[in-house]
Structure 1
Amino acid sequence: MEERLQGNPVSEGIAYAKSYIYIPGTLTKAPGFFPKGQEEEKYREFRETCEKADGELVTLYNGMCKEDPDKAKIFSAHRELLQDEEILDEIRETICEENMNPDSAVSKVYTEFAELLAGVEDPLIAERAADLRDVRDRLLRILSGQETSKLSSFSEDVILVAHDLLPSDTATMDRKHIKGILTEIGGVNSHSAILARSYGIPAILGVPNVTEKIPTDTMLAMDGLTGEIFVTPGEECIRDIREKQTSFFRKKEAE
Structure 2
Amino acid sequence: MMQIYKGLGVSEGVAVGKVLKIHSAFMNYPRIEIEDESALPLEVERLKKAQLQTQAQLEAISADSGSVINDELRQVLTSFQLLLADKKFVPAMIDKVLTAKINAEWALIRTIAKLEERFKKIEDPYIKARVDDIRQLGGKLMNNLLEKPTLDISGLKEPVIIVCHDISPADAFHLNKDNILGIVTEMGGMTSHSSILARAMNIPAVVGVPDATNRVLDDHFCILDGSTGEVIDQPSPEKINEKLDKKERRNLYQLQLNKLIGHPCKLKDGLVVDLAANLDFLAELPEIKKFQIPSIGLVRTEFLFDLESEFPTEEEQFNTYTQVILESSCNPITFRTWDIGSDKTTKLLHELSEEANPALGFRGIRTCLKHPEILRPQIRALLRASLSAQIKVMIPMVTRIDEITASLAIVEEERANLGIKSSKLQLGCMLETPAAVHILDDLLDLCDFISIGTNDLVQYTLAVDRLNEHVSSLYDPFHPAILKMLEYTVQTCNRRGKPVSICGEMAANPIMQMFLLGNGEITFSMSPNQVLKTKRVLGKVDQGTLKKIAFKFINKHSSDESNRLAKELQSQYVEES
Further displaced range: 11-20 or 175-184: 175-184
Counterpart of 1:33, as a letter, is: I
Counterpart of 1:110 in structure 2 is: 112
Q: CA distance change for structure 1 residues 56 and 36 in 2, over 3 Å: closer, same or farther?
A: same
Counterpart of 1:140 in structure 2 is: 142
Counterpart of 1:30 in structure 2 is: 31
Counterpart of 1:85 in structure 2 is: 87
Counterpart of 1:59 in structure 2 is: 60
- 1:64-117 Cα offsets, whole Å, 9 max, x none, are 665423322221111111011222442343344444443332232222212221
Quick one: distance in 2 between partners of 1:200 and 1:126?
24
Counterpart of 1:76 in structure 2 is: 78
Unaligned runs of 5+ in 2: 262-577
Instruction: Give 1:135 shift.
Output: 1.7
2:216 equivalent among 214, 217, 240: 214
Give the conservation status (yes or no) of the 8 Å contact 2:16–2:181: yes
Quick one: distance in 1 between partners of 2:58 and 2:123?
29
Q: CA distance change for structure 1 residues 38 and 125 in 2, over 3 Å: closer, same or farther?
A: same
Quick one: distance in 1 between partners of 2:225 and 2:142?
36
**Higher RCO (CA-CA < 8 Å; seq separation 6+):** 1
- 1:211-231 Cα offsets, whole Å, 9 max, x none, are 343312222222211223333
- 1:113-137 Cα offsets, whole Å, 9 max, x none, are 1222123222222221111112222
The alignment status of 1:194 with 2:196, answered yes or no, reads: yes
Give the conservation status (yes or no) of the 8 Å contact 1:156–1:177: yes
- 1:176-224 Cα offsets, whole Å, 9 max, x none, are 1111112333211211111111111111123344334331222222221
The alignment status of 1:154 with 2:156, answered yes or no, reads: yes
2:182 equivalent among 165, 169, 180: 180
SS at match of 1:85: coil
Quick one: distance in 1 between partners of 2:100 and 2:109?
14
Q: CA distance change for structure 1 residues 153 and 188 in 2, over 3 Å: closer, same or farther?
A: farther
Counterpart of 1:12, as a letter, is: E
Give the conservation status (yes or no) of the 8 Å contact 1:32–1:104: no
1:241 equivalent among 222, 240, 243: 243
Further displaced range: 189-198 or 159-168: 159-168
SS at match of 1:230: strand
Give the conservation status (yes or no) of the 8 Å contact 1:29–1:107: no
SS at match of 2:52: helix
Counterpart of 2:20 in structure 1 is: 20
SS at match of 2:177: coil
Counterpart of 2:160, as a letter, is: V
Further displaced range: 232-241 or 198-207: 232-241
Quick one: distance in 2 between partners of 1:25 and 1:227?
26
Give the alignment's TM-score, normalised by structure 2: 0.40
Give the alignment's TM-score, normalised by structure 1: 0.85
Q: CA distance change for structure 1 residues 142 and 125 in 2, over 3 Å: closer, same or farther?
A: same
1:230 equivalent among 232, 237, 240: 232
Counterpart of 2:55, as a letter, is: D
Quick one: distance in 2 between partners of 1:94 and 1:107?
11
Q: CA distance change for structure 1 residues 25 and 226 in 2, over 3 Å: closer, same or farther?
A: same
Counterpart of 1:131 in structure 2 is: 133
Quick one: distance in 1 between partners of 2:83 and 2:232?
39
Quick one: distance in 1 between partners of 2:3 and 2:110?
40
SS at match of 1:229: strand
Counterpart of 2:96 in structure 1 is: 94
Quick one: distance in 2 between partners of 1:212 and 1:49?
28
Identity of aligned residues (%): 25
SS at match of 2:150: coil
Q: CA distance change for structure 1 residues 91 and 124 in 2, over 3 Å: closer, same or farther?
A: same
Instruction: Give 1:160 shift.
Output: 1.4
Further displaced range: 226-235 or 32-41: 32-41
SS at match of 1:243: helix
SS at match of 2:123: coil
Give the conservation status (yes or no) of the 8 Å contact 1:17–1:221: yes
Quick one: distance in 2 between partners of 1:95 and 1:213?
34
* Pair member with larger Rg: 2
SS at match of 2:21: strand
Counterpart of 2:9 in structure 1 is: 9
- 1:150-175 Cα offsets, whole Å, 9 max, x none, are 44542211111234444433453232
Further displaced range: 133-142 or 236-245: 236-245
Further displaced range: 174-183 or 202-211: 202-211
Quick one: distance in 2 between partners of 1:234 and 1:37?
59
Give the conservation status (yes or no) of the 8 Å contact 1:186–1:205: yes
Give the conservation status (yes or no) of the 8 Å contact 2:132–2:187: no
Give the conservation status (yes or no) of the 8 Å contact 1:114–1:132: yes
Quick one: distance in 1 between partners of 2:49 and 2:231?
44
Unaligned runs of 5+ in 1: none
Further displaced range: 36-45 or 78-87: 36-45
Q: CA distance change for structure 1 residues 206 and 139 in 2, over 3 Å: closer, same or farther?
A: closer
Counterpart of 2:462 in structure 1 is: none
Counterpart of 2:245, as a letter, is: E
Further displaced range: 89-98 or 191-200: 89-98
Quick one: distance in 2 between partners of 1:130 and 1:87?
16
**RMSD of aligned Cα (Å):** 2.7
Instruction: Give 1:245 shift.
Output: 2.0
